[in-house]
């Protein structure tokens, strides 16, 4: 447990201002003190009248919705359209000459974005490449790093890994003639717990490490919002001779990362969640400098060839060392556009600054939820069938989470979710009882959190008649 909790800062601000945390004035005060508040204006923040299923008799149509779904798809930077027009014009006017001319020459448009991307994940230029989609990159990395032998063939991952990662592990096992059931060790939370303890991961590494080829977890677990202890797990895996890689889909742009210093072997991430670079946007790939000149097996294409002789076309591969050598196809220039628009905004601040705000913002959300909906101490899951309780199953320790909170209700949320939608709350549901909310520090405000709490209260009372109470702890 971290010694310092953001709740302490919030309480201090309350005491100093004489305001109650639940006062709208307090949210406004926190916003006025937020050094990053102007960034909201760099994005198109959807309006109540534009998001689906809103009941415009309940809300002001011209007001901003409550967008707490940046963990799924980040908002659109306003500059995207302008930059896209530049590229369309270039294509229209220059055709093929646009490959090497004008803004974002397509032949190296990904490389123009690397510098800003290194700051998101904490590495140097040679260690990253911007290409493909996330799962494709995970496969390319596993081709290199998962080279099972008769004695060392296991993959250590989390139970309930994101399906795409799970399928990647399964299919990679089969590719090597192994049965996925023999290969995958999926670490689970303890009985009655929601998240996985670091000590339990370390214990498996200690026990099974000699048989594990690759350890690969999500940096931030998409469902529980748990932030894993990346440096500790990486070190432990490597001490046992495993390669350790991370899927940073929910971590990139959410929490500070120091992949180089943490000595991570490999990593991949997408750019459309916290990184706001459009649906299906270009993904990232990281390979540590120490593997720069690796002779691991890999799938090659012409874009891994050194640029200076790439177009000589003599079929003699001159492979670029490091991550860029993993590029297979030429880069989709148009997908670089939203990424450029987004990274420009990220580069005006830092992940450390964003994290500072995020700790307060998510801490504020947690505090307000606990105040109104926390199950009384000692109250069993089998409740009175009357009250609504919310168990936040994302860790309370801010060191073990990013922006997201995962909420488990003791009632079926089907109607509740519809009522939230009617009030312009955009978030993610998983029936029967879980809602995931993520106030992105980049464009969400303390007032959004305050508004969310009001809408949640209203939605609960509107749905009251249809809230089926659940006596289950399963999420």
From the list 181-189, 199-207, 226-234, 243-251, the region that binds ligand PLP by CB under 6 A is: 243-251
Q: Report if residue 281 touches ligand PLP, rule: CB under 6 A.
A: no
Residue number, 42 or 247, with CB nearest to ligand PLP = 247
> 129 has which bridge partners?
285
SS3 (DSSP) at 435? strand
SS3 (DSSP) at 456? helix
Answer for which of 110, 126, 247, 428 binds ligand PLP (CB under 6 A) is 247
Q: Report if residue 46 touches ligand PLP, rule: CB under 6 A.
A: no
Residue number, 253 or 363, with CB nearest to ligand PLP = 253
CA-angle at 436, arms to 430 and 440, nearest 5°: 150
Residue number, 326 or 409, with CB nearest to ligand PLP = 326
Q: Report if residue 130 touches ligand PLP, rule: CB under 6 A.
A: no
- What is the smallest separation between the CB atom of 70 and ligand PLP, expressed in angstroms? 12
Q: Report if residue 135 touches ligand PLP, rule: CB under 6 A.
A: yes
C-alpha torsion sign, points 304, 253, 46, 459: positive
266, 138 in Cβ contact below 8 A? no
From the list 229-237, 246-254, 292-300, 301-309, the region that binds ligand PLP by CB under 6 A is: 246-254
Strand residue runs (E) in 48-103? 66-67, 76-77
Q: Report if residue 169 touches ligand PLP, rule: CB under 6 A.
A: no
> CA nearest 68: which of 344, 278, 361?
361
Residue number, 164 or 349, with CB nearest to ligand PLP = 164
Residue number, 402 or 424, with CB nearest to ligand PLP = 402
From the list 129-137, 203-211, 375-383, 454-462, the region that binds ligand PLP by CB under 6 A is: 129-137
- What is the smallest separation between the CB atom of 35 and ligand PLP, expressed in angstroms? 29
The site map against ligand PLP for 213-232 (x = CB under 6 A) is -----x---x----------
SS3 (DSSP) at 223? coil
The tokens describing 3, both together, are 């010694």
Residue number, 335 or 416, with CB nearest to ligand PLP = 335
139, 339 in Cβ contact below 8 A? no
C-alpha torsion sign, points 10, 16, 22, 25: negative
Q: Report if residue 270 touches ligand PLP, rule: CB under 6 A.
A: yes
- What is the smallest separation between the CB atom of 193 and ligand PLP, expressed in angstroms? 21
Q: Binding site for pyridoxal 5'-phosphate, residues? A: 134-135, 162-165, 247, 250, 272, 302, 330
Strand residue runs (E) in 241-339? 243-247, 266-269, 284-287
SS3 (DSSP) at 241? coil
Instruction: Please compute, for residue 366, the number of CA atoms within 13 A of its CA located in the half-sphere on the CB side.
Output: 25
Answer for which of 49, 164, 372, 374 binds ligand PLP (CB under 6 A) is 164
Peptide bond into 432 cis (omega under 30): yes
Q: Report if residue 158 touches ligand PLP, rule: CB under 6 A.
A: no
Answer for which of 83, 162, 303, 452 binds ligand PLP (CB under 6 A) is 162
Q: Give every CB contact of residue 342 below 8 A, 6+ residues apart in sequence.
A: 74, 77, 80, 271, 275, 276, 277
From the list 115-123, 242-250, 307-315, 351-359, the region that binds ligand PLP by CB under 6 A is: 242-250
The tokens describing 374, both together, are 């926390």
- What is the smallest separation between the CB atom of 121 and ligand PLP, expressed in angstroms? 15
Q: Report if residue 406 touches ligand PLP, rule: CB under 6 A.
A: no
How many residues of this chain interact with ligand PLP, rule: CB under 6 A? 12
Q: DSSP H helical segments within 223-350, as ranges? A: 230-239, 307-310, 333-346
Instruction: Kindly identify the residues of this chain, within the stretch 179-218, that bind ligand PLP according to CB under 6 A.
Output: 218
- What is the smallest separation between the CB atom of 131 and ligand PLP, expressed in angstroms? 12
Q: How far is CA 189 from the centre of its chain?
A: 20
Residue 15, CA distances (Å) to 18, 23, 25, 141 in order:
5, 13, 13, 51
The tokens describing 343, both together, are 């990274």
From the list 140-148, 180-188, 244-252, 376-384, the region that binds ligand PLP by CB under 6 A is: 244-252
Question: Contact residues for ligand PLP (CB under 6 A)?
Answer: 133-135, 162, 164-165, 218, 222, 247, 249-250, 270
């Amino acid at each position: 447990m971290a010694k310092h909790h953001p709740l302490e800062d919030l309480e201090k601000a309350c005491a100093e201002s004489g305001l109650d945390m639940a006062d709208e004035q307090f949210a406004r005060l926190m916003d006025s003190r937020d050094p990053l508040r102007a960034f909201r204006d760099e994005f198109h923040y959807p309006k109540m009248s534009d998001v689906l299923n809103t009941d415009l008799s309940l809300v002001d149509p011209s007001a901003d919705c409550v967008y707490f779904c940046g963990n799924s798809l980040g908002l659109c930077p306003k500059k995207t359209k302008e930059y896209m027009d530049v590229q369309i014009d270039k294509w229209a006017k220059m055709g093929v000459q646009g490959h090497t001319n004008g803004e974002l020459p397509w032949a190296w448009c990904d490389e123009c974005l690397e510098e800003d991307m290194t700051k998101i994940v904490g590495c140097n230029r040679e260690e990253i490449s911007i290409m493909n989609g996330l799962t494709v990159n995970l496969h390319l990395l596993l081709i290199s790093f998962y080279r099972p032998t008769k004695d060392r063939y296991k993959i250590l991952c989390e139970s309930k890994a994101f399906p795409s990662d799970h399928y990647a592990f399964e299919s990679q096992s089969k590719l090597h003639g192994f049965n996925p059931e023999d290969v995958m060790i999926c670490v689970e939370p303890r009985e009655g717990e929601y998240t996985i303890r670091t000590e339990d991961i370390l214990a498996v590494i200690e026990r099974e490490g000699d048989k594990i080829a690759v350890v690969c977890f999500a940096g931030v677990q998409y469902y529980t919002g748990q932030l894993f202890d990346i440096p500790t797990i990486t070190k432990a895996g490597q001490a046992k001779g495993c390669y350790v890689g991370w899927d940073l889909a929910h971590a990139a742009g959410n929490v500070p990362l120091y992949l180089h210093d943490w000595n991570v072997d490999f990593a991949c991430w997408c750019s459309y969640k916290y990184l706001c670079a459009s649906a299906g946007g270009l993904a990232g790939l990281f390979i540590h400098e120490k593997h720069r000149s690796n002779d691991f097996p890999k799938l090659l294409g012409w874009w891994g060839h050194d640029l200076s002789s790439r177009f000589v076309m003599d079929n003699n591969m001159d492979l670029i060392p490091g991550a860029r050598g993993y590029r297979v196809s030429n880069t989709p220039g148009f997908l670089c556009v939203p990424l450029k628009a987004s990274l420009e905004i990220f580069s005006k601040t830092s992940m450390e600054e964003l994290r500072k705000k995020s700790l307060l913002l998510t801490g504020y959300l947690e505090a307000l939820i606990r105040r109104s909906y926390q199950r009384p101490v000692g109250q069993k899951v089998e409740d009175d069938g009357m009250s609504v309780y919310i168990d936040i199953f994302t860790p309370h320790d801010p060191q073990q989470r990013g922006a997201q909170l995962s909420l488990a209700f003791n009632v079926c949320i089907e109607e509740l979710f519809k009522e939230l939608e009617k009030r312009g709350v955009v978030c993610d549901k998983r029936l029967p009882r879980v809602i995931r909310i993520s106030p992105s520090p980049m464009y969400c405000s303390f007032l959004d959190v305050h508004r969310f709490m009001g809408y949640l209260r209203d939605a609960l009372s509107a749905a009251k008649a249809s809230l089926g109470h659940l006596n289950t702890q399963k999420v």
